[in-house]
Each structure stands twice: as C-alpha cells, then as structure tokens.
Structure 1
Amino acid sequence: MSNSDGFIEEVTEELRRDQMMAKLKKYGWIAVLAVLLIVGGAAFSEYRKAQARAQAEGLGDAVLAALDSDDAAVRATALQGIEGGSAQADAVLSMLTASEQLSADDLDGAIATLNEVSVNGDIPQVYRQIASFKALTLQAETMDADTRKQGFEALAAVGGPLGLLAQEQLALIAIQQGDTEAAIATYQAVLNDAGVTPDLQQRALQVIVALGGEPDLTSGLITESNG
C-alpha cells in the first residue's frame, strides 16, 4: 500500500467518525429518550403494582374489621360502608353483605342486595349470574313458580356448573308443579352433562329413582318404572 492510499483511508475513516458524531449530536436525544421511557415505564409499573397491593391489603383489613362484630346486622352495615375500588371488589362486598343480611334475618335486604349485583352491567358476568341464582333460590316461597322458572331458564342457557345448578332448580319447580315427567327429563339431562359434579350427579340419581324413573347414564333416555 502506498503512502497516498494510507492517507486517503485515514481521511475517509476520520470523515466517517465526524459523520457519526454529527448524527449522534443530531439524533442522540432519541436514544436517551427511549432509555428514559423504558426506565420510567418500569418504575411506573412497579409503582402501580405496589399501589394495587396496598389497596388490596387495605380492602382486606377493612373487611376483617367489618366482620369483627358479633352482631350480623352491624357486620352488614359495616360492609355496606366499604368502598371496593373496582367492580369486582364491589360485587364480592355486596355478596358478603347479603350473607350477613341473611344471618340477621333480613331476607328482603339480602334479596335486594343480590338483585342490585345481578343487574349491574359494570360487574363481571359470573358475579351477576351467581347473585341472580342466589336471589332466585331465596324467593322460593315468595315468588311464583313461573317467574322463578324464567329466571333459572336464563341461567341454565349459560352452561357450566351454574347452568347445571339452574337445571336442578328447574327440575324442582317441575316437581312442585306436579310435572314428574319434565322433572325426570331435566335431571336426566343433568346426568348426561360432561360437567356434572359427583354431588349433583348423586342428587339427580336419587331424585329420579324417588320419582319412579330409571336413570340412563349412557343414552340420555329415561324410562318410567312400572313399580
């Protein structure tokens, strides 16, 4: 390599360095900003986690304090005064309140509390369904069978464990109305559902037999015994 070639390479390399430094001066703030955003985002995330943890701990302490009384009515009133901070927490607080209202023999209050949960669109659906189911079962003696039937039919359409429990309630309403055939058919449908629990399966078997039917665990058909 000649001296001139080496000189040209040195000059070219120096120009590259100068161009790189110029770009860093011009655009380097972007890299700095990106680093700050990453670090700031991580710090904010940790702050939010700590805040959520503190909020949950505070809610738990408030619930424990509310349940400390020996008087169920006092416990219910104390629970009603707690701010959940989220729709899910409010739903849990409401159902705890309803439970304490029942303990205090305030059936109407418990039903009203549960109904508020069941119609609140801000609350997750599963909590609304549970509240609706509980409210319907509490009104077995005060609500007419057809109205309760409509409510349980809506829940049965959802499927899953709650849907099966709703079907069981529909079978009980059929028994109440003297429709043995419908009750047996409904219990048979419960038996043939893949999600049936052992306890519910046992109850269904017992009631089918008590009603004079013969449970069929394979075909979904049910036959009436002649005895």
Structure 2
Amino acid sequence: MSQTDSFIEEVTEEVRRDRLFLLLKRYGWIGVLLVLLIVGGAAWREYSRAQEQAEAEALGDSMLAALETEEPEARIAALGEVAPGSAGGTALLALLTAAEQASAEQEAAAAETLAAIAANGEVPQIYRDIAAFRMLLLQSDSREASERRTSFEALARAGSPLRLLAEEQIALIEVETGDTEAAIARFQSILADAEVTAGLRQRVSQVIVALGGELDAA
C-alpha cells in the first residue's frame, strides 16, 4: 500500500470517527432514554408484583381473622368488613361469605351473594362458574329441574374446569325426573372421560351400581 493510500485511509477513518462522535453527541440522549425506560419498566413490574403479593397476603390474613369467630353470624359480619381490593379478591370473599351463609342456614342470602358474582363481568370466568355452580346446588329444591338442567348444561361446555361436575349434576337431574337409562349412560360417559378424578369416579360408580347399571370391567 502506498503512503498516499495509507494517508487517505487514515483521513477517512478520522472522518468516520468524527461523524460518530457527532451522532452520539446529537442523538446519544435517545439511547440513554431507552436504557432508563427499560430499567424503569423492569423496576415498576417488580414493584407492582410485590404490591399485588402484599395485597393478596393482607386479604388472606383478613379473611382468616374473620373466620376465627365462633358464631356463623359473627363470621359473616366480619367478612363483610373485609376490603377485597381486586376483582379476584371480591370473588373469593363472596364465595367464602356464601359458604358461611349456607352454613348458617341463610340459603336465600347465600344464593343472592353467589348470583352477584356469577353476573359480574369483571370477575374472572372461573370464579363466575364456581359461583353459578354453587348457586344451582343451593337452589335444587326451589328451581324446576328443567331450569337447573339448562344452567348446568351451560357449565358443561368444552374446556370448562367444572364440565364433569356439571355433567354429574345433569345425570342426577335425569334420575330425579325418572330418565334412569339416560342417567346411567351419562354416568358411564363420565367414567370413560380422561379427565375424571378419583373422587368423581368413585361417586359415579356407586350411583351406577345403585341404579342397576353395569360398570366397565376396565
């Protein structure tokens, strides 16, 4: 390489370096801002996560403290003073309150509490389904079998965590209305389902035998 070529290359490199420094000086603050945003966002996520955990722990402590009272009416009153702070917390508190109301033989009040959660669009779907399921169980003596069946069929939709439990209730309604063959067939379908739990399998097997049906040898 000649001296001229070497000189030109050195000059070109200096020009490039000067341009780089100029760009950093002019736009370097953008990079700093991006770094600050990334670090700030991560810190805010950690702070929010810690806040949510602290709120959940506080809610749990408040509910446990409310349940330490001996009288059911006092437990219900104490639960009514707990501030949930979130949609999920509201659902959990309502489910617990409804359970205490049912234990205190306040079925109408429990059904009303559950109905409010089941109809609350801000509550996660799983809590709404649980509330609707428990409400239907409480209303087994006050609602027509056809109405309860329609409601349980809605809970037996594909993908629902309560699907098999709802199917079990539909089969029991079929027994209640005298359609024993349909009930046995539905119970057997539950037994054959891959998602059936041990407890549900035992209950369904006992009902099938009691109805005079046959269990699959497998």
- Give TM-score, length-normalised by structure 1: 0.84
In structure 2, relative to structure 1, the CA distance for the partners of 1:66 and 1:170 (3 Å cut) is: same
**Residue pair 1:191, 1:204 contacting (<8 A) in 2 also:** yes
**Bigger-Rg structure (1/2):** 1
Give the corresponding residue for 2:108.
Answer: 108
Alignment of 1:79-158 (within 5 A): 79-158=79-158
Question: Aligned-pair distance for 1:83?
Answer: 2.6
In structure 2, relative to structure 1, the CA distance for the partners of 1:159 and 1:182 (3 Å cut) is: farther
**Residue pair 1:80, 1:94 contacting (<8 A) in 2 also:** no
Q: Deviations over 1:165-201 (max 9, x none)?
A: 1222122222222222222122122122221222222
- Write the letter of the residue equivalent to 1:86: S
**Residue pair 1:160, 1:195 contacting (<8 A) in 2 also:** no
* Worse-superposed segment, 104-113 or 2-11: 2-11
**Residue pair 1:161, 1:196 contacting (<8 A) in 2 also:** no
Give the corresponding residue for 2:199.
Answer: 199
Q: Secondary structure of the equivalent of 1:214?
A: coil
| Distance in 2 of aligned mates of 1:166 and 1:194 | 16
In structure 2, relative to structure 1, the CA distance for the partners of 1:217 and 1:161 (3 Å cut) is: farther
Question: Aligned-pair distance for 1:108?
Answer: 1.0
Give the corresponding residue for 1:66.
Answer: 66
| Distance in 1 of aligned mates of 2:79 and 2:158 | 30
Question: Aligned-pair distance for 1:81?
Answer: 2.8
In structure 2, relative to structure 1, the CA distance for the partners of 1:204 and 1:217 (3 Å cut) is: farther
In structure 2, relative to structure 1, the CA distance for the partners of 1:5 and 1:187 (3 Å cut) is: closer
Q: Deviations over 1:50-78 (max 9, x none)?
A: 22222222222222222232222222222
Gap runs ≥5 in structure 1: 219-227
Q: Secondary structure of the equivalent of 2:141?
A: coil
Q: Deviations over 1:56-105 (max 9, x none)?
A: 22222222222232222222222233232222121111101111112222
Question: Aligned-pair distance for 1:8?
Answer: 4.5
Question: Aligned-pair distance for 1:13?
Answer: 3.6
In structure 2, relative to structure 1, the CA distance for the partners of 1:215 and 1:36 (3 Å cut) is: same
Q: What is the root-mean-square deviation in Å for CA atoms of aligned residues? A: 2.2
**Residue pair 1:208, 1:215 contacting (<8 A) in 2 also:** yes
- Write the letter of the residue equivalent to 1:39: V
Q: How many corresponding residue pairs? A: 218
- Give TM-score, length-normalised by structure 2: 0.88
Question: Aligned-pair distance for 1:111?
Answer: 0.9
